[in-house]
Amino acid sequence: MLSGGRRPAICVTDAGFSKFAESARALGWQVFRHDDGLIEENRELVALVMLDDESAAAGARVLFQHALFAAMSADSDADLCVPATADTEQIRQLLRHSEGHWRRNLKVTQLATEVGIRRQRLRQLSDIGAQLSTHVNLDALLDTILTESRNIANCEGGSLYLADRTGEEPTLVFKLAQNDAFVVPFVEARLPMTSASIAGYVATSGEELNIADVYSLEPGLPFRFNRSFEDKMGYRTSSMLVMPMRDHRQEVVGVLQFVNRRDRSGKLVDFDQEIVEVLRALAGQAAISIQRSALVRNINELFEGFVRASVKTIEHRDPSTSGHSFRVAESTVQLIQLLPQSNNSRFRGLVLSSEALREIRYAALLHDFGKIGVREEVLLKANKLSGDRLEVLRYRFELQRERLRRRAVEKELHLLHHNAMDIEVARRRVHRDLEKQLSLLDDYWVSVVRANKPNLLEDGDFQHLIEIREERFLDLDGTITGLIDDHDLLALSVRRGSLTPTERREIESHVVHTREFLSVLPWPTELSAIPAIAGAHHERLDGSGYPDGLIGEQIPLAARVMAVCDIFDALTAMDRPYKSAISSSQAASILQDEARRGLIDQDIVDIFLEARLHESLMKVVNG
Ligand SMILES: [Fe+2]
Ligand SMILES: [Fe+2]
């Protein structure tokens, strides 16, 4: 605090100092006796203390920190020794010297206090900066910005607006209001970004407004203060500081409005230059944090959009898997969150942050994306032979029949031309042979059609297939092959399912494609495990899975959880070209069986079934 127009005081400890007291009074000083009750509250004014022989300076120095100490005895520990014979002029000199000393001391104290306050504000600013940089959630960030800036400036109330330029007309979104004097009945609202309102004016002009009293605004200003709210609440705003929050391109991203700044004693005070500068620095930090939060949100939305588009692309190729990825993602996230809540001690320490859950969800959504790299005829293959190949075989069989018939006719003609004996007997034999051969061909065809289905192949059918391959067939280019060729035999000989070993490997390669595709994407650190999780959904605990044959704990936990949900959904979802859907209870027994055989995690299957996740999944599947 400044000594300003204040007058100094003298403190005398003895009546013997009366001529000092008189000279001081003559100069406009106050005079206190050391035992005066008033001295306590005026001790800062004391510029000179006159000590008698008995008084020691040490105790008094603590009390009168800005004063000089004088005594008549040379033995005293005072600053100055004044002779008892000192005349009026000498005493006045002493008083002037003391006053100079006192004023300098007051100034030094005041500067030290200011330096302390600035240092504290700098510390607060850097603490706030650190706090702001940790927030990703926008609402929490805005709350911190307003609360901390009000704290630093000691303001009773404040509001925060964000600029929204995404619509046709720019608007200000009233995001937050705080006031220590009453509970603000806050509702988020939008107002046009025009200079008609105080916040709008600051947002559009980029100017700061430092208003001493909003009820005494100068006439002619484009904006006015809307007092309807205050009238309703019985509140009175006087001083107001409104400042824009600008990003690095100097674009206004929002407006901070502070009202009723108070000093330590609670008295209303203006927003001085120093606090304006502090709040300006804070507004700059706030703008950067708001923009960073918006960028993070944009990136997340971009990822979300990209993931959804990728899932749609896979499902477009194979409509029978429609919804599979979304259901697996949903159930995997639900199931993994149930693990730490279960009684199983294995999962007690499992902590799942929101980032970890997002990572798992994206991995599950994209787990089958690699199917994009599998040929469609393999991906959608319903039977062992493709439709085209079966058609070719049907023509070959028909051609073979025609050839047999033609040969029989030729034989009859030959009999007629050569007037053979017993021609009728010979013709009947030709017919009989033809019927037999045609019937055998029919049998062959039935075997081919039956073997073509993805059901279990009978041994008898397999023998038939070998015979059919041995049946000679003259191809159109003159080469002799079997009625079915080696490739047909290989495909039809698959004992279960519709895929040859090569085709099965091609389907299985989707996991490798998934992992390779996802590894190319620049995932942020918190999502960096997505390729590893998604790429391990076909690994099995005993090492029999693919692509890497990982064992037990080598498989990420999220992938083990996903495997359970993936198997269940694949079994129960709508019919696929290559297999029919089965009931929820049948699928549950298959899961139990696979867990017993050590392929998937028994504990995770138990939690899945106990939580009846399979039933809620079925409801989703059946719409
Ligand atoms: Fe898969
Ligand atoms: Fe899948």
Supply the CATH number for residue 520's domain: 1.10.3210.10
Residue-wise pLDDT for 64-105, tens only, equals: 889 999 988 777 788 888 888 889 999 999 999 999 999 999
Give the Å distance between the CA of 345 and the centre of ligand 2. 29
Give the residue-averaged pLDDT of 355-361.
Answer: 95
Average pLDDT over residues 217-245: 89
Residues 234 and 164 in one domain: yes
Residues 436 and 482 placed together within one structural domain of the fold: yes
Q: What percent of the chain has pLDDT over 70?
A: 96
Residue indicated by tokens 């159109």: 476
- Give residue 389 CA to ligand 1 midpoint distance, Å: 27
Q: What's the 451 CA to ligand 2 centre distance in angstroms?
A: 28
Least confident range of 55-69, 98-112, 337-351, 469-483: 55-69
> What is the 595 CA–ligand 2 centroid distance (Å)?
18
**Is residue 308 a part of any domain in this protein?**
no
* Ligand 1 centroid, distance to 387 Cα (angstroms): 25
Place of tokens 């709350």: 143
Q: Answer yes or no: is pLDDT of 232 > 60.
A: yes
Distance CA 97, CA 91 (A): 10
Q: Which residues surround ligand 2, an ion (CB under 5 A)?
A: 368, 566
- Give a yes or no: residue 165 inside a domain: yes
Sign of the Cα pseudo-torsion (579, 584, 589, 591, in order): positive
- The residue with tokens 């004693």 is 265
Residues 357 and 419 in one domain: no
Q: How far is the CA of 601 from the centre of ligand 2 (A)?
A: 17
Provide the pLDDT for residue 548.
96
Identify the bridge partners of residue 48 per DSSP, sorted by sequence position. Answer: 10, 68
Nearest ligand (C-alpha, residue 321) = 2
Residue 401, in any domain of the structure:
yes
- C-alpha distances in angstroms, 479 versus 110, 406, 474, 486? 111, 20, 6, 15
Q: Is residue 305 part of a domain?
A: no
Long-range contacts of the stretch 94-100 (C-beta < 8 A, 24+): 94/20, 94/48, 94/70, 95/10, 95/20, 95/23, 95/24, 95/27, 95/29, 95/47, 95/48, 97/68, 98/8, 98/10, 98/47, 98/48, 98/67, 98/68, 98/70, 99/8, 99/47
CA–centroid distance, 534 to ligand 2, in Å, is 10
Name the residue with higher pLDDT: 390 or 121: 390
> Which residues make up the environment of ion ligand 1, defined by Cβ < 5 Å?
368
In this structure, which amino acid lies at residue 459?
Answer: D
Residues 280 and 396 in one domain: no
466 located within any domain: yes
CA of 511 from ligand 2 middle (Å) equals 10
Q: 234 is in which domain, residue-wise?
A: 135-296
Residue 438 lies in a domain: yes
> Ligand 1 centroid vs 369 CA: distance in angstroms?
8
pTM above 0.75, yes or no: no
Q: Is the peptide bond before 547 cis (omega within 30 degrees of 0)?
A: yes
Residue 343: band (very low, low, confident or very high) from pLDDT cuts 50, 70, 90: confident
- Mean pLDDT calculated for residue range 532-546: 97
Q: Name the least confident of 59-63, 81-85, 121-125, 225-229.
A: 59-63
Mean pLDDT, residues 506-523: 94
Residue 126 inside a domain? The answer is no
- Residue 481 pLDDT exceeds 70: yes
What does the pLDDT look like over 282-324, one tens digit per residue? Answer: 898 889 888 888 888 888 898 899 999 999 988 888 777 778 9
Ligand nearest to the CA of 329: 2
Give mean pLDDT, residues 560-565: 97
Please tell me the distance between residue 576's alpha carbon and the centre of ligand 2 in angstroms: 13
- Clarify whether residues 155 and 282 are in a common domain: yes
Residues 169 and 282 in one domain: yes
Residue 114 confidence (pLDDT)? 85
Average pLDDT value over all residues in the chain: 88
Whether residue 454 is found in the same domain as residue 541: no
Sequence-distant (6+) residues with CB within 8 A of 503 are: 378, 381
Q: Tell me the C-alpha to C-alpha distance, in Å, between residue 223 and each of 174, 193, 434.
A: 17, 12, 106
Lowest mean pLDDT among 3-7, 75-79, 201-205, 305-309: 3-7
What pLDDT was estimated at residue 1? 43
Q: Is residue 397 part of a domain?
A: yes
Query: Cβ of 337: how many Cβ atoms within 10 Å?
Result: 14
Q: Are residues 275 and 218 in the same domain?
A: yes
Q: Each residue of 414-461: pLDDT tens digit?
A: 888 887 678 888 889 999 999 999 999 999 999 899 888 887 777 777
User: What is the average pLDDT across 203-216?
Assistant: 93
More confident residue, 496 or 343: 343
Under 8 Å between Cβ of 152 and 278: yes
Same structural domain, 487 and 574: no
Distance 585 CA to ligand 2 centre (A): 20
Whether 246 and 183 share a structural domain: yes
Q: What is the pLDDT of residue 2?
A: 44
Q: Tell me how many domains the chain contains.
A: 4
Please check whether residues 45 and 159 belong to one and the same domain: no
Instruction: Write down the pLDDT at residue 578.
Output: 60
